[in-house]
A and B are shown apart, each in its own frame.
Chain A
């Protein structure tokens, strides 16, 4: 099947990845090969499968929403590349 370089560029934008021209060309070829392999999915016969798409574990696992203090607040903030006091610092967005 193959995908166009424009699609590769568009997907990279959606995924927030800057790619070099070489990378884009490489992924165009490699993703094309992988997607060709996946053509077999079009022959999946899922008739009569409705209702059996359940997750492997039950979803009724809600617990009380009771807040607990997180003891390592400073360790968490220490990982920030840039911070101001107890805030993560980001660029101005507005």
Chain B
């Protein structure tokens, strides 16, 4: 069996008894054994539990049972999403030894549809970063070029899908952490509308921005994953009660009559010329299919980076206050007081980027600075949201580059501000709460370029319609390491 089989293909095959879940799993596990020593997408592969699960599904099918919509599909989870009994590390030393005492809502939903969870993927510590270099354990390599980063913070999930180790994975997106690595690795990544997917069991980073989303090899698989993962959860107060539309049905909708906006502020020299060219070519191909394309303006985009890097660290400084070494993690001893014990545990347990953001957030929320930073950032956020409300009165979707350039080299962005600026095209969707998707739109110098579509809240159907049309028109690049692709990595790791 080819490892390039999609999640939808596997689910149909296993559901109909044409494929065995156990065989599907073994193919993927063999691929993980072959490739992951070089790519290092996984923090932990749970082979035994996955095998047990796959065997049980095959037995249920053989006994005449009907299987769910993800029958036998091997899926990887970003390691900030809880699966009961498995460690959740968040890519941090501070959670050493922590085992999740419950399943996240998304895991419950995947399991109800008979998925097979294979393991936990690498990430920037507590999802803070854009390269997966901030993992406390090791960096993950980009399957297209092992000297480059896979993006982040869901870099492990993106690399696992791009190298065919799994057909689908979940990540989390606070400022682009699903879409940017999807773009860098040439896969599809969705950041759903705020409230569409439950976050119960996702370790909180910035609660007004975080969303869980799928990473897959095809648009159809992204729609399938979201249709399973999304939906109301009474145990997440930010979860929307709105019923999910039929995403699969929107795939064949086509783009005739669709109004596509190109936001001027995303095409003014911020992106690499080659990236911009491929994005424009992708949009032009949809125009030839009958979409109309107009230039639009989102005038407050200029405040997005500042607003985001105030709001996200403020929320993080509050959310991460719970890591004190009392109920889980590493206990510090020997300080003069309980407070000193906390400070020692946190000072040694958190990595540099997490400490930087906790400091930044604490500073911005402290007496005397609150209005200048947090207050103003919230106003900028409201203006950014209003920009989108205005523009979605005129167009159905927006098309932009996912990132200003292709995957960068390890250590290339050592200065925090340089790394933060890499998020410029993705953070606005989180600030506004709207959904976005990154789809591959070509290769430049052997590296994938992502095209991002944005739509109004709860209009993921328009994202899938646009992305599926682009996929048909400009077939996605063949993955590195694919059978018959004739191309391995361009470089061996240093």
Contacts and interface: CB of A to CB of B under 8 A. Distances in A.
Interface string A54-94: 01110001110000001010011011111000001011010
B359 A31 contact: yes
Interface stretch (B70-78, B144-152, B234-242): B234-242
B420 interface: yes
B325 A42 contact: no
Contact of A18 (B84, B97, B344): B344
Main secondary structure of the interface of B (DSSP, over half): helix
Contacts of B327: 79-80, 88
B310 A57 contact: no
A16 B342 contact: yes
A14 B238 contact: no
Nearest to A62: B237
Contacts of A33: 415-417
Interface in A6-28: 7-8, 11-19, 23, 26-27
Interface string A38-58: 101110101001001101110
A79 B89 CA distance: 13
Interface string B181-221: 00000000000001100000000000010000000000000
Nearest to A81: B331
Contact of A82 (B101, B331, B348, B379): B331
Contact of B326 (A30, A76, A88): A88
A82 B491 CA distance: 47
B194 A57 contact: yes
A37 B355 CA distance: 19
Nearest to A55: B208
Contacts of B305: 37
A90 B377 CA distance: 38
Interface in B72-103: 84-85, 97-99, 101-102
A36 B394 CA distance: 36
B309 interface: yes
A73 B326 CA distance: 16
B303 A52 contact: no
Contacts of A55: 208
Contact of B383 (A37, A38, A44, A75): A44
> Which 8 residue pairs are nearest across A and B when measured between Cβ atoms?
A56-B433, A18-B347, A81-B331, A46-B379, A75-B101, A79-B328, A15-B362, A41-B376
21 contacts: A15-B362, A31-B359, A31-B363, A34-B416, A35-B363, A37-B309, A38-B310, A41-B306, A41-B307, A41-B377, A42-B376, A46-B379, A46-B382, A56-B194, A70-B102, A72-B84, A72-B101, A72-B102, A79-B328, A80-B327, A88-B327
Interface of A: 3, 7-8, 11-19, 23, 26-27, 30-31, 33-35, 37-38, 40-42, 44, 46, 49, 52-53, 55-57, 61-63, 70, 72, 75-76, 78-82, 88, 90-91, 93
Interface of B: 84-85, 97-99, 101-102, 194-195, 208, 234, 237-241, 302-303, 305-307, 309-310, 317, 321, 324-331, 337-344, 346-348, 350, 352, 355-356, 358-360, 362-363, 366, 372-373, 376-380, 382-383, 385-386, 415-417, 420, 432-433, 457
Given A3-B363, A17-B350, 11 more contacts: A15-B346, A15-B358, A37-B306, A38-B306, A44-B303, A44-B379, A52-B385, A53-B382, A61-B241, A79-B99, A91-B341
